[in-house]
Amino acid sequence: MSSTALRSISISSEEGLDGVDGSARFSFHPSCSALASVSGPITARLAAEHPARATVEVYVRPLSSVPGTAEKSRGMAIREIVERSCLLAQHPRTLIQVVVQALTNPTPGYALLAAEINACTLALINAGSIAMRGVVCAVPVGRVKKGSAISVEVDVADDVVLEGGGCFAFLFGFALSGPIKGSAPPCEDVWSTYSARPGSSFDQAELVRAREVAREAAAEVWQCVKNSIRHQKTIGETQSPHEVDVKMEI
């Protein structure tokens, strides 16, 4: 059920932005895509410096018009997620600057936010300069009527019929405690929001179900993230490990 929605995930860190330490692009669907860049650890402003850990600043930019309160709110959510997933104490008095650019228009649902969170995770991995406790994968979920099935909703066209939905972000890491399901490591929740649209409402059973659906979908996103790392080239390499394998077969 969820694999069909996640079939069109596309990840790329090939182009690589020049002025930053790491960057990546993540999209669930051509209508839901985000680009994130990470620079860090770099010098922090004296006023923003923290003596025991790194400071995290997140800037979210929409596709069109100036950033508003909605972008500030998404920025704060991403900042809390980055602070929880990175080991900030290893880089005191520095700054980790994350800039997220939305590449598609915002929707009433949370698909764009989930794409932005995943793009940040990939950019942090691409930078490689900040140690992380785990990899954060986020998925948007939604349902049509109260009591109907909850599924991963990434297509903007489907968004209009949704009467409830949310976004769940999970931290995946082999060092965490918990069951290992399939190939994905144990995960813990790191951020979530779930709300009903006008005229609708939900109960706690639905919230629990939504979390479970999101957990399974996030494990699939984790697998996509892992597969994409194989295709990445590091600085100085002309061929990625994937291309080397293909050539060897001949």
Partner 1 sequence: MSSSSVTNSSAADETLRAQIFQRLHPRVYLERFIAEKIRPDGRTFDEWRNVSVNVGSISTADGSALVRMGDTTIVCGVKAEIAEPELDHPEQGFLVPNIDLPAICSPKFKPGPPTEEAQVLSDRLNEALVASGVLSLSSLCIHPGKAVWTLYVDCTCINYDGNAFDAALLAMLGALRSTTLPKATYNEETGRTTCSRKTRSPVQLTRNFASSSFGVLDTSHVLSDPTAFEEPLMDVTLTVIVDDRGELISTTESGGAISEETLLRCINRAKERALQLKD
- Summarize as ranges the residues that interact with partner 1 (CB under 8 A): 69-70, 72-73, 75-77, 80, 84, 108, 188-199, 201-204, 207-208
Q: How far apart are CA 131 and CA 86, in angstroms?
A: 6
Residue whose CB is less far from partner 1, 9 or 162:
162
Asked if residues 28 and 8 have their Cβ atoms less than 8 Å apart, the reply is yes
Task: State in angstroms the smallest separation of the CB of 137 from partner 1.
Answer: 15
Task: State in angstroms the smallest separation of the CB of 3 from partner 1.
Answer: 25
Residue whose CB is less far from partner 1, 40 or 166:
166
Tell me, what DSSP letter sits at residue 145?
S
Task: State in angstroms the smallest separation of the CB of 142 from partner 1.
Answer: 14
Other Cβ atoms within 10 Å of 120 Cβ, number: 29
Q: How far apart are CA 250 and CA 247, in angstroms?
A: 6
**Hey, is 137 helix, strand or coil?**
strand
Residue whose CB is less far from partner 1, 6 or 114:
114
Residue whose CB is less far from partner 1, 87 or 207:
207
- Which amino acid, 41? P
Task: State in angstroms the smallest separation of the CB of 18 from partner 1.
Answer: 29
Residue whose CB is less far from partner 1, 6 or 86:
86
Tell me, what DSSP letter sits at residue 197?
P
25: part of which helix (H) or strand (E)? Answer: strand 22-29
Asked if residues 88 and 48 have their Cβ atoms less than 8 Å apart, the reply is no
Other Cβ atoms within 10 Å of 103 Cβ, number: 18
Task: State in angstroms the smallest separation of the CB of 204 from partner 1.
Answer: 5
